[in-house]
Amino acid sequence: MNPAPSPSRDIVRLIEIMAALRTPKTGCPWDLAQDFSTIAPYTLEEAYEVADAIARGDLVDLKEELGDLLLQVIFHARMAEERGAFDFGDVVAAITAKLIRRHPHVFGDEKSRTPQAVEGLWERIKSQEKAEKAAHKGAASQGALAGIPIALPALTRALKLQAKAGKVGFDWNDPRAVLRKIREEADEIEVALDGVNPALPAESGWTEAAAEVGDLLFAAVNLARHLNADPEALLRQTNRKFERRFTAIERALAANGKAPQDATLAEMDALWDEAKAQE
């Protein structure tokens, strides 16, 4: 059995601990059984928990969640090292080089000084890097929507798809035009619902309506983008608002010796309105 390591501020110690966990025979059986694909869901989960701590303004929790996210980087780097692909030092070197390359206004002679100018510079450098990477891989060309990870949350991926399409001119120039599209999509849902055969189970006619809901969500993301808002963050805010108001309903019902399942919808609607008015 390996001696218990002591806490350390040194990143090297963390790398050594990960190596010990992945050492055959003496390491941790669970850690040894993992690979990139099994760890990837935990990586996504830890990133969300970082975002959640930030949204709650909990810096104590943020410190812990950032540590958990860092562990994911160490874990993936260790598995890559075992395959002879790269190690943690290579990861650090790659991001260091990228930061220097993408900040010529700090580390070079570029004179961009406004946030807008820097953002434009960043995008130009990214585009050049992607073109060079495609050429290196032997790709003849890449479409305007290339490079957006499939595994992103659907709202975030929709936002990135729309932003990339917008850069080549496929976009509305007025949020009101997007709002009209949302109304159009909502109308198409209603048409699909009206077309359901009442003689058949309702589920049999929902497929078309469900597809139209997807179009509605995509249009809603587009409206958020035109309002310079992150749809993922907006939905998280709305989720928290719903939780807060529904908890108020539960408390109000409990004060009268009732649970939600014992109340009518009208009762809960009235309590919802009260909770909303108090915010």
How confident is the model over 203-262, as pLDDT tens digits?
556 788 899 999 999 999 999 999 999 998 899 899 999 999 999 999 999 999 999 999
Which backbone phi and psi does 110 adopt, to 5 degrees? -65, 140
How many CB atoms sit inside 10 A of residue 107's CB? Answer: 11
Q: Is the pLDDT of residue 29 over 60?
A: yes
The superfamily in CATH containing domain 143-229 is: MazG-like (1.10.287.1080)
Q: Is the pLDDT of residue 140 over 50?
A: no
DSSP H helices in 195-230: 206-226
Residue span(s) of the chain under CATH 1.10.287.1080 come to: 11-101, 143-229
Taking Cα atoms as reference points, which of 167, 134, 152, 174 lies closest to residue 40?
A: 152
SS3 for 143-197 is CCCCCCCCCCCHHHHHHHHHHHHHHCCCCCCCHHHHHHHHHHHHHHHHHHHHCCC
**Integer CA distances (angstroms), 78 to 2, 9, 20, 91, 143, in order:** 18, 19, 10, 11, 34
pLDDT tens digits, 190-201: 998 888 776 666
Pick the CATH number of 11-101 from 2.60.120.1140, 2.40.50.140, 1.10.287.1080, 3.40.50.12660: 1.10.287.1080
Q: Is the pLDDT of residue 275 over 60?
A: yes
